[in-house]
C-alpha cells in the first residue's frame, strides 16, 4: 500500500468512475499512512468527501455520513477487504476496494488514451511522475498517446525546469546533467539514482 496525494486520488477516482455509471458512489481505495489533506476534494467537477478508514466500523460511519449529506465519497482504506461486511462491500463502487494503479492514474493525469508499455513497465519512472506531479496536473499529450519520450520530458521538466528547446530523450539527459544549463541552477533535489539509471537505459545512453 502507498500513501496517496490529492492529485493521485483525483486521478484514480476519475479512472474508476469510467468503469461505473452509478452516481453518488463511494470509492474505496487501498492506501496507507492516513490522510492529512482537506475533508473535501473536487473530482470531475463534483465535491467528494474524503475519509481515512482503518476499520469496518470507520467505513460504515463514513458511508452513513456521505449518504446523510447526499455526497459521493472516497474511502482511503488501510483495512483488508476480507474484514469488511458484505453490506459494506455492496455499497462501494464496483463492489470492491481498489488497489492504486499507476497506469490508470497516468492516463488521467496526461489526458491520454494510450500509454507506451515502456512507461508503465518502468516502476522508477511511474513512481517519479506521480511523486513529482504538479498541482495543476501535467499538460495533455498530443494525439492522446503518452510515449516514453514525453513521459521523461514531463518528469525532467518537473525536476529541472523547462528545457530551452524541444529535445529528444538522449539530449534531454545530456542537458539536465550540464552544470552550465538552467537545469544545473534549479534548486531542487536531484533525480533518484534509480530514475537516472532507468532513463539512461530508455535512451540507450547507459553503459553496455
Matching residue, cell 494503479 = 101
Over residues 62-115, the pLDDT tens digits come to: 999 999 999 999 999 988 888 899 999 999 998 999 998 888 889 988 989 999
Ranking 20-24, 52-56, 140-144 by mean pLDDT, the lowest is 20-24
Torsion sign (Cα): 87, 92, 95, 99? negative
Over residues 75-89, the pLDDT tens digits come to: 999 888 888 999 999
What's the CA angle centered on 156, arms 153 and 160, to 5 degrees? 135
Residue 166 confidence (pLDDT) above 80: no
Distance CA 28, CA 60 (A): 12
Residue range 117-143: average pLDDT? Answer: 87
> Under 8 Å CB-to-CB from 72, ≥6 apart: which residues?
23, 24, 25, 26, 27, 43, 46, 48, 49, 66
Q: Which residue has the higher pLDDT, 154 or 3?
A: 154
Beta strands per DSSP E along the chain: 26-30, 40-43, 46-53, 73-77, 92-98, 114-115, 145-146
pLDDT value for 57: 95
For residue 137, what is the DSSP state? -
Amino acid at each position: 500500500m502507498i500513501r496517496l496525494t490529492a492529485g493521485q486520488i483525483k486521478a484514480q477516482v476519475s479512472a474508476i468512475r469510467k468503469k461505473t455509471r452509478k452516481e453518488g458512489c463511494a470509492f474505496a481505495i487501498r492506501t496507507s499512512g492516513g490522510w492529512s489533506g482537506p475533508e473535501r476534494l473536487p473530482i470531475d467537477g463534483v465535491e467528494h468527501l474524503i475519509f481515512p478508514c482503518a476499520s469496518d466500523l470507520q467505513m460504515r460511519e463514513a458511508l452513513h455520513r456521505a449518504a446523510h449529506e447526499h455526497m459521493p465519497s472516497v474511502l482511503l482504506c488501510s483495512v483488508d477487504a476480507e474484514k469488511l461486511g458484505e453490506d459494506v462491500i455492496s455499497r462501494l463502487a464496483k463492489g470492491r476496494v481498489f488497489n492504486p494503479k499507476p497506469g490508470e492514474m497516468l492516463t488521467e493525469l496526461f489526458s491520454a488514451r494510450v500509454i507506451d508499455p515502456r512507461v508503465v513497465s518502468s516502476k522508477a519512472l511511474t513512481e517519479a511522475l506521480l511523486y513529482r506531479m504538479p498541482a495543476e496536473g501535467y499538460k495533455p499529450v498530443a494525439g492522446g498517446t503518452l510515449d516514453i519520450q514525453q513521459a521523461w520530458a514531463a518528469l525532467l521538466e518537473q525536476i529541472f525546469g523547462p528545457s530551452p528547446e524541444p529535445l529528444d530523450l538522449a539530449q534531454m539527459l545530456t542537458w539536465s546533467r550540464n552544470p552550465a544549463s538552467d537545469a544545473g541552477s534549479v534548486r531542487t533535489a536531484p533525480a533518484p539514482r534509480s530514475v537516472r539509471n532507468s532513463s539512461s537505459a530508455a535512451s540507450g545512453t547507459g553503459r553496455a
